[in-house]
Amino acid sequence: MSSFGERMTRIGLAMAGKKSPWGDPDSADGSEPGGAAPSATGGEDADAPDGPAGEKPQEPKQPNGPRNPWLPPSSGEGRRSASIEDIFRARTGRGRPGGGDGGGKGPTLPRLPQRPDGKSWLPIGIALVAAVWLGASMVHRISPQEKGVVTTFGKYSRMLDPGMALTLPWPIQSVATQDVTSIRRESIPEGDGEKLMLTGDQNLVDLSYLVRWNIKNLKLYSFQLADPDQTVREVAEAAMRQSIAEVTLNDAMGAGRASIEQSARDRMQKVLDAYRSGILIQGVDIKKVDPPAKVVDAFKEVLAAQQDAQSDVNRAQAWAQQTTARAQGDATAFDKVYEQYKLAPEVTRRRMYYETMERVLSQTDKVIVETPGVTPYLPLPQLMQQPKPAPTEGR
């Protein structure tokens, strides 16, 4: 331990009086931190007299050590360490925050180029921007399928027909255009949702339908209703529920769809006209009428039974129609025979007898014997009807 202490003492004595290559950061002349300038021999000048009488001639002080590469060159500034503020000031060229005398100037705004006569282009630019703004807000082109509503400070002023039109610039007047010829469609319910409605016979059906409408009066459409599209949906649902409640389940799922659609359309138009909505209902189309999803299996069985019953009814009606037609034909033929009988009763009676005997005897087996004592012919029909013996196998 004593040897280590002696070594550190010798190192300290050897380093005494030597200066840092960067100089003192707190002094401008590169002196030691203690404030005493080193002498030419490396020690302190203890014998130098104080005051003007004993003052030695001063030589220009040169910075000690290499120059800091982060600092810009400046006259009379000693070598010192760079701070973060100095680094950023040197790179950006800006002064210290708060307008200090750090050396750099603050940012300057770019100047617009000048005209050949020395005047600024700024008035001409402002005039061009104002002209473009006036043209965009005063000239309007209305498409053939559209109409425009002109409002002055938000209040209705007039209507614009298709074509070019002029108005006062915004914000004095503004124009809102709407397509008044295209048919708009509202599908109820949206997507694959379920819409249950109650029929007149207390049954539930899942109903989906489509409403077709367009704008009849743009002024009323724009100012009478806060949300015209939502109003159409709500009125359509109310009208359809009322129409479904007046019919039975079979009518709703069968041949009564056309009457339901017409009834719903009439009700919707009546309500919208009372609201002064400016909307014209073009039609209501039912897309599907199904039972609720929870009872669809039982409902299918009921429909199958109803279809079978209807098939039996149809077959019975067909048989009845055929039988009636046959009886009517026989009655007509009998009437014709009776007319001939009245003209020649004996001949008609004999002819009817022969025809009847021919029809009866043609369907029976007969044996004909002409005179007594004559052997009749072989009963060939009976022999043909007798079963033949099964063939025997050969030995």
Kindly report, residue by residue over 205-233, the tens digit of the pLDDT. 889 999 999 999 998 998 988 899 999 99
In sequence order, the 6+-apart residues with CB closer than 8 A to the CB of 278 are 215, 216, 217, 218, 219, 220, 221, 222, 224
Whole-prediction pTM value?
Answer: 0.48
pLDDT, position 384: 66
Average pLDDT, the chain: 75
In sequence order, the 6+-apart residues with CB closer than 8 A to the CB of 223 are 156
Nearest CA-CA partner of 240 in 216, 212, 209, 270: 209
54 versus 215: the higher-pLDDT residue is 215
Question: Residue with structure tokens 């809102």?
Answer: 176
| pLDDT above 70: residue 127 | yes
**Structure token pair of residue 121:** 């282009």
Q: Which domains does the chain have, with CATH numbers?
A: 139-182 (no CATH), 184-290 (3.30.479.30)
| pLDDT above 70: residue 29 | no
**Structure token pair of residue 35:** 């404030």
Per-residue 3-state assignment (H helix, E strand, C coil) for 322-335: HHHHHHHHHHHHHH
141 versus 388: the higher-pLDDT residue is 141
C-alpha distances in Å from residue 101, one per residue of 18, 22, 74, 94, 98: 34, 24, 14, 10, 9
| pLDDT above 50: residue 101 | no
pLDDT, position 95: 46
Percent of the chain exceeding pLDDT 70 equals 63
- ∠ CA 169-174-177, nearest 5°, is 135
| 329 phi, psi to nearest 5 deg | -65, -40
Q: Which residues share a beta bridge with 175?
A: 150
Among the residue ranges 45-59, 79-93, 181-195, 357-371, the one predicted with the least confidence is: 45-59
| pLDDT above 70: residue 34 | no
Whether a cis peptide bond, with omega within 30° of 0, leads into 292 is no
